[in-house]
Chains A and B, each alone.
Chain A
Amino acid sequence: QKEVEQNSGPLSVPEGAIASLNCTYSDRGSQSFFWYRQYSGKSPELIMFIYSNGDKEDGRFTAQLNKASQYVSLLIRDSQPSDSATYLCAVLWRGGATNKLIFGTGTLLAVQP
């Protein structure tokens, strides 16, 4: 069973701080990693993807990947109340005809004004 693990939170940070969200995955052969943001009652919205070890930055968001440790993280700088949401980590599982995202349960982020 391919697994993706996240701390469910809530992770509470003050406005303007850096929020750090973490994710581990079990399949060492995984190559593609994604972070989705999901507001309550809404569908997941893609915010970052990363394929290679190291950091990838996009605006206030930085994704970090360490394949040796099977670890993915998302940093949100200058956190805003509008960032308050559940952040879902997902790994693309490919094998034969199989092609699907495996999601963690999500981390609830609360940014306090």
Chain B
Amino acid sequence: DTGVSQDPRHKITKRGQNVTFRCDPISEHNRLYWYRQTLGQGPEFLTYFQNEAQLEKSRLLSDRFSAERPKGSFSTLEIQRTEQGDSAMYLCASSLALASGRETQYFGPGTRLLVL
């Protein structure tokens, strides 16, 4: 399967612990996005990369959140000092940016985080 993959699929942690999630995009895609989704809501944008450059971070992304895409391939999202409000599904998506400006984002299976 050559779709977007994410690891782990589920994570349970205690408040105050650090967690790290990984996303592997579709191989030829140069853009990678992180979204967060809570129950009953649509996904909300967190940040995105074009190749290895992080081009935008949402105001939702507090200083406890950091994302990297060191070689323009896989990406990691780290949450430090987790809080119960961080419990959500963390979704990664990738796309191929076209000269026309059009792009289609494909989502991975997500990482479901529960902070106790």
* A interface residues (Cβ-Cβ under 8 A, vs B): 4, 8, 31-32, 34, 36, 42-46, 49, 51, 88, 90, 92, 94, 97-106
Contact = CB atoms under 8 A, between A and B. Distances in A.
Given A43-B89, A43-B107, A49-B104, A97 B56 contact: yes
Nearest to A89: B42
Contacts of A36: 107
20 contacts: A4-B42, A31-B101, A31-B102, A34-B104, A34-B105, A36-B107, A42-B110, A44-B91, A46-B107, A90-B42, A92-B103, A97-B55, A99-B31, A99-B56, A99-B103, A100-B45, A101-B43, A101-B45, A101-B93, A103-B42
> Which range holds the interface residue count of chain B?
20 to 34
Nearest to A36: B107
Give chain A's interface secondary structure class: strand
Contacts of A32: 102-103
Interface of B: 31, 33, 35, 40-45, 48, 55-56, 89, 91, 93, 101-110
B109 to A, nearest CB: 5
A88 B89 CA distance: 15
A88 B110 CA distance: 16
Given A103-B43, A105-B40, A98 B56 contact: yes
B102 A51 contact: yes
A44 B104 contact: no
Contacts of A44: 43, 91, 107
Contacts of A43: 89, 91, 107-110
Contacts of B42: 4, 88, 90, 103-106
Contacts of B56: 97-100
